[in-house]
Amino acid sequence: MRNELRNKYLSEPRLDRYLSATANDKDKARRLYNANIRLAQAIHPILTQFEVVLRNSLNSQLSTYFTDNEWIINQKNGFMRNRSLSHSHYFLRKSVIKTENNLNRKGVPISSGKIISDQNFGFWIALFLSHHYSLIGGQPIHIFRYKPSREDRASIYSKLDSIRNFRNRVNHCEPLCFSGNNIDCSETLIIRIKLYELIKWIEPDLVPFFESIDNVQNKVDNIMRI
């Protein structure tokens, strides 16, 4: 891409950080920018597949707890409507209703499967917030059958929230290869470690699948050679 196009459409402020990290070497800055994109591409599959595993595990756990495969629909008028949730503006309930309204506008029949698949990562990790967690008998933590005994609701939520924040950065094309103005991919590698920890605590036999789609270390090594 020509420099004038890169500056016009990607913006100079976005590119300045790459120039600063490479001592204003434009060729290195360009290669670093492209390598950062490839790093985001590499970690995206394990982020999205972890979200699928988390979502389906929580759905299964709560379906059993409520003895109701349609819990996500029926609990709009159950725990999601509890008065204690007024301070959180009934986040879960509003999220479900928003999906139902969107489906209605499109003329798509409402089903629990469609509602479940439409909820974002924030919806699922919100089940680990104390005000929701207590209303559903602490069920969410039970999906982590293999977790160490020292791990509790708060520590699990902290890990999930850091993954959510990182996922948002990936989706918004933010740099993953810096610590300050230095080239450094340690945050990405820490998130990768947390992902594998949580996967192992849900189901260790899932690890080989995640390893088979994981090309993060290779892309990190490429960045550190620039």
Residue 60 lies in a domain: yes
What is d(CA 46, CA 40) in angstroms, rounded to the nearest whole number?
Answer: 11
pTM, to two decimals: 0.92
pLDDT at 7: 56
Going by C-alpha positions, the residue among 28, 46, 38, 48 that lies closest to residue 185 is: 38
> Residues 117-139: pLDDT tens digits?
999 999 999 999 999 999 999 99
Mean pLDDT over 164-168 rounds to 96
As a dihedral over the C-alpha atoms of residue 186, residue 192, residue 197, residue 199, rounded to 10 degrees, the angle is 170
Amino acid in the structure at residue 201? W
Give me the residue label for tokens 């924040």.
165
Q: What share of the chain is helix, strand, coil (3-state, %, to 5)?
A: 75, 0, 25
Mean pLDDT of 27-47: 95
* Per-residue pLDDT tens over the stretch 152-161: 999 999 999 9
Specify if 12 maps to a domain: no
Residue 112, amino acid: S
- Residue 178 DSSP code: E
CA distance 220 to 35: 9
What average pLDDT score do residues 200-224 get? 98
Residue 177 has pLDDT above 90, yes or no: yes
Report how many domains make up the chain: 1
Is the Cβ–Cβ distance between 61 and 142 less than 8 Å? yes
Give, for 183, the enclosing helix (H) or strand (E): strand 182-183
Dist. CA 71–CA 123, nearest whole Å: 15
Is 225 contained in some domain? Answer: no
In angstroms, the CA 29 to CA 96 distance is 44
Give domain status of residue 27, yes or no: no
Strand partners, 70: none
Specify the DSSP element, H or E, that contains 79: none
* CA nearest neighbour of 37 among 21, 13, 18, 20: 18
Confidence category of residue 15, pLDDT binned at 50, 70, 90: confident
Query: What pLDDT digit, counting tens, does each position of 40-75 carry?
Result: 999 999 999 999 999 999 999 999 999 999 999 999
CA gap 25, 32 in Å, rounded: 10
Q: Determine the Cα–Cα distance for residues 47 and 205; give it in Å rounded to an integer.
A: 17
Distance CA 1, CA 15 (A): 13
Residue 85 lies in domain: 45-218
The residues that bridge with 182 in the sheet, in sequence order, are 179
Residue 23 lies in a domain: no
Q: What is the pLDDT of residue 32?
A: 95
DSSP 156-177: HHHHHHHHHHHHHHHHTT---S
